[in-house]
Amino acid sequence: MAIPTEPIGSIPRPPALIETKVAFHNKKVSSEALEAANAEALRDTIQRFEQTGSPIITDGEQTKPSFATYPLSGLTNLAPDGVEIPFADGHVRQLPRLTAGPFRYGVHAAGYLEAARHYTRSPIKQAVISASALSLLYPSTGIPGYPREEFIADLIDEAVADIRGALQAGAASVQIDFTEARLSLKLDPSAGLLRSFIALNNQVLERFTSEERLRIGVHVCPGGDHDSTHSADVDYSKLLPDLFQLNVGRFYLQMASEPNRKRILQLVSQLLQPNQTIFIGVIDPIDPKIETPVQVRDRVLEAASILPIAQLGTTDDCGFAPFADDTSTARDTAFSKIQARVEGTALAAHELGIA
């Protein structure tokens, strides 16, 4: 039995793709030129992913505008002045605001997986955005003729279709990105907002069988954009007891950058259920220094001393470029870090006698 290891998702886009996207937005190049740049970035990303030895790959989210907003592509019932997400370095990301119903996804995640399948036979993991993140599109003032209850019903249907489509398209696993979880405790320390998010996401998850949920996981971290976070100052222990109420089979937990890993791993060991796998972050995408396989091995062994080995996996703390314009990490650095994770996990498995 080897220790499973998976990426979180995004890889920094090549400069040529970013430049082409900007030129297309400014109507300086054709849609055909953009498609060609997308295809080349996707091909190169998958090839380099496979060269790391990673047993599970992703498409690097090369053609997504961001991990959070891909379903909104092509929608016309949006305004730009939605919820703002402030980061520690002072920069802000802003979600759009829904202006009218009904709410429908413009793009579903299965399309990204199907595009990636043209370039590989390797198992592909597909990331999707949580229903709770997209619930923030609905304005606090409401929408005339489209009550929030109707929006939530539409949102759940679309989120279910997004996950189910990825599973049916052959995703090895589906990861729900829930990075707003930790941030919600900063906005509402009472945890009322967090619990409403979890209740909403569980309404999505209850539409799947117990066997399907074993292939569905949730990822949480304190954010990662331009080498900055939005909620690293929130105590992880305030999040985890509620997080483990989510009805999923996999948890992808940021851990490499956590200042007191043993304390958090002990808490995880108390919350872990028999049918769950915990993928511990052993790579910090924000740290420019590339981890060595030995450093990764030691982080895995630390986790294995606290968590059941049969329920342990490894991952990265976060994606390397969740937003398309984030070039704070070089592509070479991202792939070197991924290779270190793969090799270090194998070293740990060998030392534990389960390789």
Q: pLDDT of 241-274, one tens digit each?
A: 999 999 999 999 999 999 999 999 999 999 999 9
Q: Would you state the pLDDT for residue 6?
A: 97
Does residue 315 form part of some domain? yes
Helix, strand or coil for residue 85? strand
Global confidence as pTM = 0.96
Higher pLDDT, 153 or 25: 153
In angstroms, rounded to a whole number, what is the distance separating the alpha carbons of residues 187 and 241? 18
Does residue 170 form part of some domain? yes
Mean local confidence (pLDDT), 180-202:
97
Q: What CATH number corresponds to the domain at position 99?
A: 3.20.20.210
Cβ burial, residue 259 (10 Å; 0-12/13-18/19+): exposed
Does residue 208 form part of some domain? yes
In angstroms, rounded to a whole number, what is the distance separating the alpha carbons of residues 355 and 295? 18
In total, how many domains does the chain have?
Answer: 1
Domain that holds residue 312: 15-351
**29 pLDDT above the threshold of 60:** yes
Does residue 242 form part of some domain? yes
Does residue 132 form part of some domain? yes
Does residue 238 form part of some domain? yes
**348 pLDDT above the threshold of 90:** yes
Q: DSSP secondary structure string, 23-77?
A: HHHTT-S-HHHHHHHHHHHHHHHHHHHHHTT-SSB--TTTT-SBTTTGGGTT-SS
State whether the Cα torsion 218-261-124-338 is positive or negative. positive
Mean local confidence (pLDDT), 97-114:
97
DSSP β-ladder status, 125-129 and 173-177: parallel
Does residue 148 form part of some domain? yes
Q: Would you state the pLDDT for residue 205?
A: 98
Per the CB < 8 A criterion, the answer to whether 275 and 302 are in contact is no
Does residue 6 form part of some domain? no
